[in-house]
Copies of this chain bind each other. A is one copy, B any other.
């Protein structure tokens, strides 16, 4: 009966806030998350959240980071025995699957890894593995970036999603090639997945051509060089000349 202002045991924790916020985003979308609504879901009043996060945006960032943290990175482990191409493929597939499981948070996620720890762990793992595979550091940076472009783009901007399932919206005189556009809507997921697979294969095929054209690594050893721990750190910032 005692309606206290503060219970002996804290009602909230960052983890619980993030878990409930994530569930709410998944169930009802980003727009459903207001501080008042989220607080109600947690059984507290709105301003209570500000004891644990500085802004609502920080809460959403934490939700996004939790999703990023679920992306498998084990394929970049040197002990996993995956070559760079197989590792990139597995990573992209795992990355896309994680985003597809939580599509509503993707708009937050794509704002960049930011200070989110999981985003940084990903960038570090990709970079390290590509350098170990013989890619110049500047190129390793680009590969991490461009694969992220492709995966997040495929998770966010469904191409087929645009085609509304309403044939009357499309006058064939305006769009001579889109007569079947309304059919595309119902097959959206299939098309997006096929486009993702086609694009990923093309991307990896194209990168393989570039990798094959790489000069032998300095020192001329037979195996792939492994420079964990002793990179000079002076050419991993993009300062290496581009090759075109």
Contact = CB atoms under 8 A, between A and B. Distances in A.
Interface of A: 107, 109-117, 119-121, 123-124, 127-128, 131, 138-139, 141-154, 156-164, 169-170, 174-181, 183-184, 187, 190-192, 194-199, 201-207, 209-210, 228-229, 231, 233, 236-238, 242, 244
Given A123-B162, A124-B175, A229-B176, A206 B201 contact: yes
Contacts of A179: 233
Given A120-B175, A141-B191, A207 B202 contact: yes
Task: Please name the 10 residue pairs, one residue from A and one from B, whose CB atoms are nearest each other, closest first.
Answer: A153-B153, A202-B206, A146-B199, A113-B162, A145-B159, A149-B153, A112-B162, A205-B206, A145-B195, A110-B157
Query: At the interface, is chain A mostly helix, strand, loop or mixed?
Result: helix
Given A110-B156, A177-B231, 5 more contacts: A111-B157, A116-B162, A145-B191, A156-B156, A203-B206
B209 A205 contact: yes
Contacts of A210: 198, 201-202
A159 B164 contact: no
Copies per complex of this chain: 2
Contacts of A242: 194, 197
Contacts of A111: 157, 161
B195 A146 contact: yes
A205 B194 CA distance: 18
Nearest to A198: B142
Contact of A139 (B144, B164, B198, B206): B198
B203 A142 contact: no
A93 to B, nearest CB: 13
A228 to B, nearest CB: 8
29 contacts: A110-B156, A112-B158, A114-B162, A120-B178, A123-B178, A124-B175, A127-B178, A139-B198, A145-B192, A145-B195, A146-B154, A146-B195, A146-B198, A147-B199, A148-B153, A149-B150, A149-B159, A149-B196, A150-B153, A151-B153, A177-B236, A180-B237, A194-B242, A197-B244, A201-B210, A202-B203, A202-B210, A204-B206, A205-B209
